[in-house]
Structure 1
Amino acid sequence: MEKTKLLEDRLNDRARLVLKVNYFTSICSLIFAAICIFALDITIVIPYVFLAFGILNLLNTVLYKFHNKLTLTYNIVSIMTLAGATTITLYSGGINSPFIFVLALIVVAGYITTKAYGAIYLNLNLLIILLIYSQSIADFSFVTNVVPEQSKNLFALLSVLFSVYLLGGVFGKNLLNAHHNLYKTKAELEGKIVEKETLLKEVHHRVKNNLQTVSSLLSMQARNTEDSVVKSLFKSSQNRVISMAMVHEMLYMREDISKIEYRSYVQDLAEYLIRSIKGTSSNITLDIDIPDVKLNIDTAIPLGLLINEAVTNALKYGIVDDRKGEIFIKLRKDENEGYLLNIGDNGHGFSETITYKNSKSLGLKLIHNLARQLRGSIMRDLTKKGTHYIVKFKEIQEQIPSVA
């Protein structure tokens, strides 16, 4: 919505500028026509070009109110200005006519409208100026200077005043206003972005706190039961909650609240799981090979939960008791702009015949469900000792809500 408003404001600024220039040039043209006839004694071609341009351009400006097509209005006035200015220039001295500067104003107006129109009218005006020059130096000239000798200086003065005022008083003034409005809008947008980022950080902080509260409740429930199976279930659920809370904590701590640096997250998560399941002094070695990869929250959380389940299963069922063991986690980008995760351990492993479909293990089912949530695939690597998974996935594109 903010972007749409910015585009609308820009279009409105351009429309106001074009209409203001149209009204100004139309009125000036009509006045110029009267001055040419009654004050400068110019009665051939020039005053009638001014008169025709003034009337037709007023009509063109009025018609804009009905069709509301700014480009059409601009192109009509540009073509009329081009034809009129070229004719007046030819009949008022050719390349030496002060009215030739009006041609430059068409180029300025073109670039205000669009870069493409500016380039078109720039090249067209350069060609016309060259043609005017060639006509001026030719042995045979099909037009003559119709401005009387005694009126040349006054005609030149009025032409220069018209060009300078249009360039500075109309184009310059309005462009400066548009420039200030643009930066004012930009400053307002930047302020809103900072405000939203601050609020979003606060949301991540509160979500993290709430998840930690849930983790504490699960821990209290686990302490209040003597059943080892139930206690283990509570502990597994607690670890899953902690793995999600860590994502929100890292987003809260970073300046970039859209993505997290994934290596440090996996390192912290794996170390926490080892402490949680094996204790502070264990024989577990971590081998984490993750480059400088940043993932958004929609990918980071399900992938974190998948890693949580795989590492938890390795620590509980693969590397039993206090035996030495190693956990491997490797993440790489593949050739299709996706990711390849290799995760496993050198523990006991389990039978090839056991799958998430015929197993009662919640962790095993979660691993496969989370791989599907990542819109990827998962398979076991049976060539290595222990349990190893190969997960292929792509980063889930964030759904950014529109800002009202």
Structure 2
Amino acid sequence: MNRQTKRPQEQRFKDKAKLIVKINYFTSIFSLLFFFTCLYVLDIKIVIPYVFLAFGILNLINTFLYRYHKNLLLTYNTVSIMTLAGASVITLYSGGINSPFIFILALIVVAGYVTTKSYGTLYLNLNLLIIVLIYSQSIADFSFVSNVVPEESRNIFALLSVLFSVYLLGGVFGKNLLHAHHNLYKTKTALEEKINEKETLIKEVHHRVKNNLQTVSSLLSLQSRNIADKEVKNLLKSSQNRVISMAMVHEMLYLREDLSKIEYRSYVQELAEYLIRSIKGTSSNITLDIDIPDLKLNIDTAIPLGLLINEAVTNALKYGIVDENKGEIRIKLTKDKDNEYLLNIGDNGVGFPETVSYKTTQSLGLKLIHNLVRQLQGTITRDFSKKGTHYIVKFKNISNQIAPVPR
């Protein structure tokens, strides 16, 4: 168990122990006051005052012993059993089911639930059983106990019993539960601040990654200016476009509220338009048809899929739609009922023979497309029924797992 998890548990234990000790002291003091009140004010001479006296003394001893053994459950269960026994006896000798002191039994249930759910349930069932037994005794033809509270003192005894119950329930339990509520609110506020801080840091990371990738892109652009070989220059340009396609993902994550997913239509639109400007220039004859609904993909899926689209569109612009010819690039992304995605991407250019594949060609673009499909844990097929080059890619949204590294 780490330190962050252990600290709140220790605090909860301290709060629980503080509450139980505080209730013990209050009930002991009130019990001793009840002893003197019953004996000398209410003129109750039988059983009831001596139960208060015994409970007050024993509970004080029980509470003092906690300072030495530090066993909270032992202290709590001892006082609960004494309270059950004492309250049951006082209830029986002060009117049975009609005794106002019967409400003290409810306090034991409340204390149980404050401690743990299991103890609350246990003492709830015990109290229900005791109440049923008290009621059964009160309606029996022969009752072995009688109301020992004098007639003239019963109203005062009822008043003191109700005041005792209300004070303990509202004053002691209420204040501590309110204190616990404030602690929970503070914890919630602290967690929200940490989450906001974490989101800010994640945004900053995406921003820095985007800036670093743009720096790499700029270095590749500068390097290509000093190279006369057209083939090498094209390779550097292709690498630059791949870097930019990754930088766009981090830029979109930085600019949006959702730090885990990006709106993929706007990303594909921006990426495809950039590639057309980069390869064909600002005034081209290329028509872009993008059909993507409101889909959001996480970064583990968005980056390899973006690189795949980058390669397919780049190949279409370089080798499919040649020179200044008119052409159309179509990108469609859908999601089926099984949470599988289907990408249809292609162009109406010149295409290439069926015999050419990533296994038989030296084209880095084709090899990358197939390796990226493997990284997406999907499948790819060519659609030969249409003019040009068209791919059908099936994949699932990769989530919380490490994608396999292409070989």
TM bin, normalised by shorter chain, reads 0.7 to 0.9
* Equivalence for 1:379: 380
Equivalent AA in structure 1 for residue 398 of structure 2: E
How do residues 313-352 of structure 1 correspond to structure 2 at under 5 angstroms?
313-352=315-354
Moved more, 242-251 or 339-348: 339-348
* Equivalence for 2:394: 391
Do the aligned partners of residues 18 and 339 (structure 1) sit closer, same or farther apart at CA in structure 2, a change above 3 Å counting? farther
Residue 229 (1) aligns with residue 231 (2): yes
Moved more, 59-68 or 312-321: 59-68
- Does structure 1 conserve the Cα–Cα contact (< 8 Å) formed by 2:297 and 2:397? no
| CA offset digits 1:22-46 (Å, max 9, x no partner) | 4543554466557656775444267
* Equivalence for 2:173: 171
User: 1:276 Cα shift?
Assistant: 1.2
1: CA distance between counterparts of 2:58 and 2:67?
15
2: CA distance between counterparts of 1:36 and 1:238?
93
Give RMSD over aligned pairs: 3.4
How do residues 1-400 of structure 1 correspond to structure 2 at under 5 angstroms?
5-6=7-8, 9-26=11-28, 28-29=30-31, 32=34, 41-44=44-47, 47-48=50-51, 51=54, 55=58, 59=62, 62=65, 77-78=79-80, 80-113=82-115, 125=127, 128-129=130-131, 132-133=134-135, 135-149=137-151, 151-153=153-155, 155-374=157-376, 376-385=377-386, 386-397=389-400
Q: Secondary structure at the match of 2:331?
A: strand
1: CA distance between counterparts of 2:162 and 2:250?
66
User: 1:56 Cα shift?
Assistant: 6.8
Do the aligned partners of residues 135 and 283 (structure 1) sit closer, same or farther apart at CA in structure 2, a change above 3 Å counting? farther
1: CA distance between counterparts of 2:351 and 2:56?
89
Moved more, 244-253 or 190-199: 190-199
1: CA distance between counterparts of 2:30 and 2:131?
23
Do the aligned partners of residues 230 and 172 (structure 1) sit closer, same or farther apart at CA in structure 2, a change above 3 Å counting? same
- Does structure 2 conserve the Cα–Cα contact (< 8 Å) formed by 1:348 and 1:387? no
Q: Secondary structure at the match of 1:107?
A: helix
Q: Secondary structure at the match of 2:164?
A: helix
1: CA distance between counterparts of 2:128 and 2:187?
36
TM-score, normalization: structure 1? 0.83
TM-score, normalization: structure 2? 0.82
* Runs of 5+ consecutive residues of structure 1 not aligned to the other structure: 400-404
Q: Secondary structure at the match of 1:146?
A: coil
User: 1:326 Cα shift?
Assistant: 2.6
Runs of 4+ in structure 1 deviating by more than 6 angstroms, as ranges, are: none
User: 1:156 Cα shift?
Assistant: 3.3
Q: Secondary structure at the match of 1:335?
A: coil
Moved more, 364-373 or 31-40: 31-40
Equivalent AA in structure 2 for residue 280 of structure 1: T
Do the aligned partners of residues 19 and 321 (structure 1) sit closer, same or farther apart at CA in structure 2, a change above 3 Å counting? farther
Kindly indicate whether structure 1 or structure 2 has the higher relative contact order, using CA contacts under 8 Å at least 6 residues apart. 1
1: CA distance between counterparts of 2:259 and 2:311?
26
Q: Secondary structure at the match of 1:387?
A: strand
Do the aligned partners of residues 378 and 112 (structure 1) sit closer, same or farther apart at CA in structure 2, a change above 3 Å counting? same
User: 1:271 Cα shift?
Assistant: 1.3
* Alignment length (residue pairs): 397
Moved more, 329-338 or 171-180: 329-338
Do the aligned partners of residues 309 and 205 (structure 1) sit closer, same or farther apart at CA in structure 2, a change above 3 Å counting? same
- Does structure 1 conserve the Cα–Cα contact (< 8 Å) formed by 2:90 and 2:101? yes
Equivalent AA in structure 2 for residue 214 of structure 1: V
* Equivalence for 1:402: none
1: CA distance between counterparts of 2:78 and 2:292?
61
- Does structure 1 conserve the Cα–Cα contact (< 8 Å) formed by 2:62 and 2:79? no
2: CA distance between counterparts of 1:76 and 1:370?
67
1: CA distance between counterparts of 2:20 and 2:330?
66
| CA offset digits 1:192-223 (Å, max 9, x no partner) | 22222223222222222222121111111111
Q: Secondary structure at the match of 2:380?
A: strand
| CA offset digits 1:310-363 (Å, max 9, x no partner) | 222222222222333332322233333343333333333334444434432222
User: 1:155 Cα shift?
Assistant: 3.7
Moved more, 255-264 or 120-129: 120-129
* Runs of 5+ consecutive residues of structure 2 not aligned to the other structure: 403-407
Do the aligned partners of residues 355 and 383 (structure 1) sit closer, same or farther apart at CA in structure 2, a change above 3 Å counting? closer
